[in-house]
A and B are shown apart, each in its own frame.
Chain A
Amino acid sequence: ETVMTQSPATLSVSPGERATLSCRASQSVSSNLAWYQQKPGQAPRLLIYGASTRATGIPARFSGSGSGTEFTLTISSLQSEDFAVYYCQQYDNWPRAFGQGTKVEIK
């Protein structure tokens, strides 16, 4: 099984600043890595797939990078609506796995 580890658990950022979230896989998942955003009381929303491809309608301030075992989600200039929990998920092998999440909070 592939274990996904996200860091940090909580990220305190001021609006307008850059946020950098990390996700590590316990074995290579190639570029088969997705990022999701989840706000309280809502279902997750797909942000990034293929490690770096933005999903439909996702603003350009969200970008993903990495391959193999190390991945990064960058939010270039945080907007008020971006404060949420972010999850990575590998879909390279079975069973699929999510990371434990990074909460992006207002500093």
Chain B
Amino acid sequence: QITLKESGPTLVKPTQTLTVTCTFSGFSLTTNGVGVGWIRQPPGKALEWLAFIYWDDEKHYSPSLESRLTITNDTSKNQVVLTMTNMDPVDTGTYFCAHSNLYDIVTGYGNYFDYWGQGTLVTVSS
């Protein structure tokens, strides 16, 4: 059974760095094809894709946020960590992590998000 859970501060001040952690179980990020992504959602607004990391440490970032984002994988702890620098009130929202697999037995190509964490709400305010 695959589960993911996000954790991190509920409140950060403007200009600070946010660190959110995704702790997962039921899969390993050393398995060929597996990946974890981060998605956020401002209150009342749409989902926004942020970053992604594959089992082989290949990484991808949202171009508009790339200069502020770092995604890393700690295989020993079954965790994926996202850091976002220079936080601003517009970064307020729920941050989700989600599982993905490059391979799908039906279509051959996966990479959609099939399991999601519950999300963690981060408020940026002084």
User: Chain A: residues with CB nearer than 8 A to chain B?
Assistant: 1, 31-32, 34, 36, 38, 42-46, 49-50, 53, 55, 87, 89, 91, 94-101
Interface residues on B, range: 20 to 34
Known: A43-B96, A96-B37. A101 touches B110 (CB 8 A): no
Report Cα–Cα, A100/B48, bound state, in Å: 9
Query: When the two chains form their complex, are residues B46 and A32 in contact, meaning their CB atoms are under 8 A apart?
Result: no
User: Which of A31, A42, A87, A95 is close to B62, meaning CB atoms less than 8 Å apart?
Assistant: A95
Q: Which 6 pairs between the two chains have the least Cβ-Cβ distance?
A: A50-B107, A43-B116, A34-B112, A91-B111, A98-B47, A49-B112
Is B104 in contact with chain A by the CB < 8 A criterion?
A: yes
CB-CB contacts below 8 Å: B89-124 with A: 96, 100, 104, 106-107, 109-114, 116-119
Report Cα–Cα, A34/B94, bound state, in Å: 21
User: Which of A32, A87, A95 is close to B109, meaning CB atoms less than 8 Å apart?
Assistant: A32
Report Cα–Cα, A102/B126, bound state, in Å: 33
Query: When the two chains form their complex, are residues B107 and A53 in contact, meaning their CB atoms are under 8 A apart?
Result: yes
27 A-B residue pairs with CB within 8 Å: A1-B63, A34-B112, A34-B113, A36-B113, A42-B118, A49-B110, A49-B112, A50-B107, A53-B106, A53-B107, A55-B114, A87-B46, A89-B47, A89-B49, A89-B113, A91-B100, A91-B111, A91-B112, A94-B60, A95-B60, A95-B62, A96-B49, A96-B60, A98-B39, A99-B46, A101-B46, A101-B47
A65 to chain B, nearest CB (A): 14
Report Cα–Cα, A53/B110, bound state, in Å: 11
Is B52 in contact with chain A by the CB < 8 A criterion?
A: yes
Query: When the two chains form their complex, are residues A44 and B113 in contact, meaning their CB atoms are under 8 A apart?
Result: yes
Is B55 in contact with chain A by the CB < 8 A criterion?
A: no
A1: chain B residues at CB < 8 Å are 63
